[in-house]
Amino acid sequence: HIMTLELRQALNEGQFELYYQPIFTLADDSISGFEALIRWRHPQRGMISPAEFIPVAEETGLIAGIGQWVLREACMTAARWPKSVKISVNLSPAQFGQAGLLDSVMTALEEAGLEPHRLELEITESVFLSNSRQNIQLLYSLRELGVRIAMDDFGTGYSSLSYLRSFPFDKIKIDRSFVSGIEVDTRNLAIIQAVAVLGAGFNIITTAEGVETAQQLHRLKNEQFGEVQGFLTGRPMPASEVETFISEKG
């Protein structure tokens, strides 16, 4: 791929950055943690979204190196935050196919001196589509380290309900497409209510993504949703702004 060389160069020359988006606990309005979101500051083309380059990195195998960088950087940054604040890192399904994921996670935690329970790994349902036995095994090994596992983009993949039985997730993050319009869309609201019940029954934290309006927040609170994340409560921000954000909102 035409981008491959540039991606390799980006990793070597430090062109990647992490932005951090806050996640709030609804019960007490406290900051639960931040999700790390990668950005590519391209020397000519400016900021490039991960939606553009992560698929290329997955195809070319560069995701291993990029993923390792993300883990180290996120853990180092989070180690400077108050201990009550967690860090969530997105794992690409392709990272599961590569040897060394477990090692990368262990090394990142050790180097940063971050307590494992403060690291949450976000995976998508597609991790269960291929090599599911091996991948579930790996998830258990990660869990044994003490890190938390969240199912990301819940509801957008295939037969998501069965995966909830395959692995004891700590959290489900419902995709933002189900949050949009819950003020008026009775079908999306019904899905939100069902997921809240599911979370309670499985003893899994529920997080709503893409919360953009005060009415949505209010609705989610009413439905006993656990957490919210979205432009309403905080946009992704550079690391340099996180500590101020915590001291103002925490």
Q: Which residue ranges make up the site for ligand G (CB under 6 A)? A: 21, 37-38, 49-51, 54, 70, 90, 92, 152-153, 176, 209-212, 230-231, 236
230 binds, among ligand G, Na ion, Mn ion, none (CB under 5 to 8 A by kind): ligand G
In the complex, minimum distance from the CB of residue 35 to Mn ion, in angstroms, rounded to a whole number: 6
- Pick 60 or 156: Cβ nearer Na ion: 156
- If the CB atoms of residues 122 and 227 are measured against Mn ion, the closer one turns out to be 122
Which two structure tokens, joined as six digits, stand for 47?
């900021």
With tokens 């499985």, the residue in question is: 202
Shortest Cβ distance from residue 175 to Na ion (Å)? 5
Cα separation, 161 vs 244, whole angstroms = 39
Nearer Cβ to Na ion, position 153 or 223? 153
Q: Which of 147, 144, 150, 1 is nearest to 63 (CA)?
A: 1
Interatomic CA distance for residues 4 and 72, integer angstroms: 22
Decide: 220 and 26 in contact? Cβ < 8 Å. Answer: yes
Residues that bind Na ion (CB under 5 A): 152-153, 209
Task: Output the smallest distance, CB 18 to ligand G, in A.
Answer: 7
> Could you give the C-alpha distances from 205 to 67, 179, 199, in angstroms and in order?
25, 16, 6
- Where is 132: in which H helix or E strand? helix 132-145
Of 6, 152, 223, 227, the one binding Mn ion (CB under 5 A) is 152
Question: Residue 131: what are its φ and ψ, rounded to 5°?
Answer: 45, 40
Contact region with Mn ion (CB under 5 A), list: 79-87, 89-97, 131-139, 181-189: 89-97
Residues that bind Mn ion (CB under 5 A): 90, 122, 152
